[in-house]
């Protein structure tokens, strides 16, 4: 059995080369990319978050870890499954205004892409009007909003209200996610769905599209 704590610890130690080497080593040993992600990289990021909260780690260190995580995701992405030729639907995704966190959002985008959806990834710190424009220009079926800060969660409500105001038929469904977000919160702000992680985001998008038919 592969010891995923190697990956987790290398990420916590901010050792980029060792983290990448451990990820490649696990892949060479045919470990499941999903396990590498969850038991190695995401588990490591959780510890980094705790250290950040306890002021044992600071922004430059967390940024370095985020950069390493991004490099590892680039290695894993091609192995998560091949993108289907026909798009199953158009998805617009972004992190709301005021929020710069993008690792989880990019993971969700990546999983959706490899599941056959056309994904328009707007990036981070996206103004509400840009979401509205992107939904319209791309005839989006689902709008995915990510927020990692309790202070930016309320922005999701503004985006939902603006998107609803701008489309008369309610066709576009809105899915929300991010560490501080919950199903209760989704209900409260009128989102169509909530997903706690990237894998369930794919399931949630499929279920929302199914409901659309
Ligand atoms: Co920040 N940060 N950060 N940070 N950061 C958190 C979120 C925090 C919990 C850390 C802590 O204190 N323990 C805390 C938030 C507290 C709160 O609001 N309750 C925090 C803070 C306070 C801050 C700053 C304010 C710090 C400061 O400046 N004093 C600042 C804010 C900047 C801003 O956004 N305006 C800040 C900055 C940063 C960095 C820039 C240094 C960096 C981000 C780099 C980047 O993303 N490119 C960073 C990081 C890396 C973190 C932690 C450590 C890790 C986040 C992460 O990438 N996790 C984080 C602590 C933590 O989460 N434990 C923390 C891994 C990722 C895979 O998980 O993003 O949760 P996550 O995504 C998951 C799910 O949430 C879900 O699926 C993903 C994977 O399965 N998901 C969705 C996400 N979006 C989804 C959308 C969906 C569905 C599911 O559908 C649409």
Q: Model-level pTM?
A: 0.88
For residues 23 and 76, is the Cβ–Cβ distance under 8 A? Answer: yes
Confidence of residue 103 (pLDDT cuts 50, 70, 90): very high
Cα–ligand 1 centroid distance for 46 (angstroms): 10
Mutation test of ligand 1: which of 41, 53, 80, 101 has the most ligand atoms closer than 8 Å to its C-beta?
Answer: 101
Decide whether any atom of ligand 1 lies within 6 Å of the 43 Cβ.
Answer: no
Q: Does ligand 1 lie within 6 Å of residue 102's CB atom?
A: yes
* 145 ligand 1 Cβ < 6 A: yes
Q: Which residues contact 117 (CB under 8 A, 6 or more apart)?
A: 87, 88, 89, 90, 91, 205
The reported pLDDT for the residue numbered 64 is: 93
pLDDT in tens, 145-154: 999 999 999 9
């Amino acid at each position: 059995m592969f010891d995923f704590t190697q990956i987790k610890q290398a990420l916590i130690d901010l050792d980029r080369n060792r983290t990448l080497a451990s990820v490649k080593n696990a892949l060479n040993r045919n470990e499941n990319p999903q396990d590498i992600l969850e038991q190695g990289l995401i588990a490591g990021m959780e510890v980094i978050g705790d250290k950040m909260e306890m002021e044992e780690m600071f922004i430059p260190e967390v940024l370095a870890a985020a950069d390493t995580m991004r490099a590892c995701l680039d290695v894993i992405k091609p192995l998560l499954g091949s993108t289907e030729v026909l798009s199953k639907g158009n998805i617009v995704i972004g992190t709301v205004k005021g929020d710069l966190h993008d690792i989880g959002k990019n993971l969700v985008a990546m999983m959706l892409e490899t599941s056959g959806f056309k994904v328009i990834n707007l990036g981070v710190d996206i103004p509400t009007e840009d979401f509205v424009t992107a939904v319209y220009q791309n005839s989006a079926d689902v709008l995915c909003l990510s927020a990692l800060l309790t202070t930016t969660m309320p922005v999701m409500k503004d985006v939902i209200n603006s998107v609803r105001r701008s489309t008369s038929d309610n066709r576009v469904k809105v899915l929300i996610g991010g560490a501080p977000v919950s199903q209760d919160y989704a209900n409260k702000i009128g989102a169509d769905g909530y997903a706690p992680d990237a894998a369930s985001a794919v399931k949630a998008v499929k279920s929302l599209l199914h409901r659309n038919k």
